Homo-oligomer: A and B are copies of this chain.
Amino acid sequence: MPDVSRADLLLPAEPTQRAIARELYSLVADRPLISPHGHVDPGVLADDAPFPDPARLLVVPDHYLTRMLFSQGVPPAELGVPSVDGSPVEADGRQIWRRFARHWHLFRGTPSRLWLELTFRDVFGVHTALSPATADRVYDEIADRLAEPAFRPRALFERFNIEVLATTESPLDDLDRHAKLAADGWGGPGGRVITTFRPDNVVDMEFDGWRTNVERLAEVAGEDTGTYPGFLAALRQRRAAFVAAGATSSDHGHPTARTLALTDREAADLYERGLRGTADAADAEAFRAHMLLQFARMSVEDGLVLQLHPGAVRNHNRRLHARHGRDVGGDVAQATEYVHALAPLLDAFGNDPRLRLVLYTLDEYTFTRELAPLAGGYTAVYLGAPWWFLDSPEVLRRFREAVTETAGFYNTAGFVDDTRAFCSIPVRHEVARRIDAGYLARLVAEGRLPLDDAAETVVDLAYHLPKRVFRLDRAGGDA
């Protein structure tokens, strides 16, 4: 572990700023966690079953870890990552863990190391520093904890002080896990665990199995998706079901931020070409762009906050995709244009107070040029936290340094942890809170913000803003 006191982790080293930052951080250290966007399996909390072994819990599903080891020559199969064709992969958790520990040095300076170290220490009470030599000891200590009732998901949820956690489901999901949670008093509108409407797999014609998905959408929604109006009706039906299950937002992962205002006739033509299998890449892009604008329209009607995550190039590493499928580390990022791409949507709804459009990016080289001016110039636009590769101490800091001067703090939407890894939720929020405290401390130390304003702001960023922007303050939760 670091040679710095736990209390000062990530705070500026310079003593004046550190002292201010420590004071600011103390105001948010114990605030409940608002987690309006993430990828925890709702079954984990619905079933409340014990977690599997440490490797399966912490290594195998974490593409940050497996891609780094892959980049240095360790095949994902040796880390237990399931293969597409069912060919055997490492099944022994301890072996996976040892391999991982052998390459622990690769993670120096990365958020992955920080997240894991603090998870070991704060969640599992393991104070042994991970190394090739200590791999077994750390594994055993974590495994022991996982067997205890206090380490079941719901117990951890309480200990983590999570006020609300949003998972992410596709419109094809019947939301039965969320129904179970609601029945147990954990879910539903205003509940502790809610869902998020993520329609990419029925909207993106280039998604694997899109046509099958559209057929399944018909079944789950009870609408005829053989026509474009029926498709829209099915989406509306599923949004209503998601709202009933507690959703306050939708989430859209597109290659670009492009939006487009097609006529119904044009949209129907595209949709039909898609169903016939004659749509090309430009058609798929146009349909995605058109649907974003439709989802903005639906958001104006039903109040779901619209989250847009553009800029990922999915499955860029084709061999990795072929062997191990999606979401195992084969994605990279690309340059993303917002100003012209979003113009059609913003012309239609950008000044509508009923719309909340939360923009994320994998391209930090849009912070001052595009994102901050848009957020500071349209009523509907909020900036989401730096995402994925950018969810890191350095970028969280650069984000504030870049966008605050034009968009202020109150056109940002607070932190989203975006995590699949349930146990890392607390540390991810802690990192964001500490970085914000450090940034605000610099403003105070340079005379740019009075301490009392900084104190109010740090709490707003950590707690009130995400709650307000994601419309989580409508039901339940103390403030």
Interface residues of A (CB under 8 A from B): 1-6, 8-17, 67-68, 70-73, 105-111, 114, 129, 313, 316-320, 329-335, 337, 339-340, 343, 346-347, 350-351, 353, 362-365, 368-370, 372-379, 381, 389-390, 392-395, 400-402, 404-411, 442-451, 453-454, 456-457
Quick one: closest B residue to A451, CB to CB?
B3
Cα–Cα, bound, A411→B411 (Å): 36
Report B-chain residues with C-beta under 8 Å of the C-beta of A400: 109
How many Å from the CB of A364 to the closest CB on chain B? 6
Contacting A320 at CB < 8 Å: which of B331, B351, B443?
B351
In contact, B13 and A17 (Cβ under 8 angstroms):
yes
In contact, B379 and A448 (Cβ under 8 angstroms):
no
In contact, B330 and A334 (Cβ under 8 angstroms):
no
Report B-chain residues with C-beta under 8 Å of the C-beta of A347: 318-319
In contact, B13 and A442 (Cβ under 8 angstroms):
yes
Quick one: closest B residue to A311, CB to CB?
B369
In contact, B72 and A447 (Cβ under 8 angstroms):
no
Report B-chain residues with C-beta under 8 Å of the C-beta of A394: 401-402, 404-405
**A363-B369 contact given A3-B450, A109-B409, A379-B71, CB 8 Å threshold:** yes
In contact, A111 and B405 (Cβ under 8 angstroms):
yes
In contact, B332 and A335 (Cβ under 8 angstroms):
no
Quick one: closest B residue to A67, CB to CB?
B377
Quick one: closest B residue to A12, CB to CB?
B446
Cα–Cα, bound, A362→B368 (Å): 8
Contacting A389 at CB < 8 Å: which of B1, B319, B372?
B372
Cα–Cα, bound, A320→B378 (Å): 10
Report B-chain residues with C-beta under 8 Å of the C-beta of A406: 110, 389, 392
**A381-B71 contact given A3-B451, A339-B313, A405-B109, CB 8 Å threshold:** yes
**A70-B106 contact given A11-B446, A337-B335, CB 8 Å threshold:** no
Please, could you name 29 A-B residue pairs with CB atoms under 8 Å apart, sorted by A? A2-B444, A2-B450, A3-B444, A3-B450, A10-B447, A11-B446, A13-B445, A15-B16, A67-B377, A71-B377, A72-B410, A106-B408, A108-B408, A109-B404, A109-B409, A109-B443, A110-B404, A110-B406, A316-B346, A317-B346, A317-B351, A318-B347, A331-B377, A333-B370, A372-B389, A389-B405, A392-B406, A394-B404, A395-B405
Quick one: closest B residue to A72, CB to CB?
B410
Cα–Cα, bound, A475→B1 (Å): 37
How many Å from the CB of A18 to the closest CB on chain B? 9
Cα–Cα, bound, A57→B240 (Å): 49
Report B-chain residues with C-beta under 8 Å of the C-beta of A72: 379, 410-411
Quick one: closest B residue to A444, CB to CB?
B3
Add 18 more A-B contacts to A13-B446, A68-B376, A110-B404 (CB < 8 A): A3-B447, A6-B447, A13-B14, A15-B16, A105-B453, A107-B408, A109-B404, A111-B405, A129-B450, A316-B346, A316-B377, A319-B347, A333-B339, A364-B369, A368-B395, A372-B389, A392-B405, A394-B405
Cα–Cα, bound, A317→B370 (Å): 13
Report B-chain residues with C-beta under 8 Å of the C-beta of A378: 71, 317
How many Å from the CB of A439 to the closest CB on chain B? 9
List the 4 closest A-B pairs by CB distance, nearest first: A4-B447, A2-B447, A13-B445, A392-B405
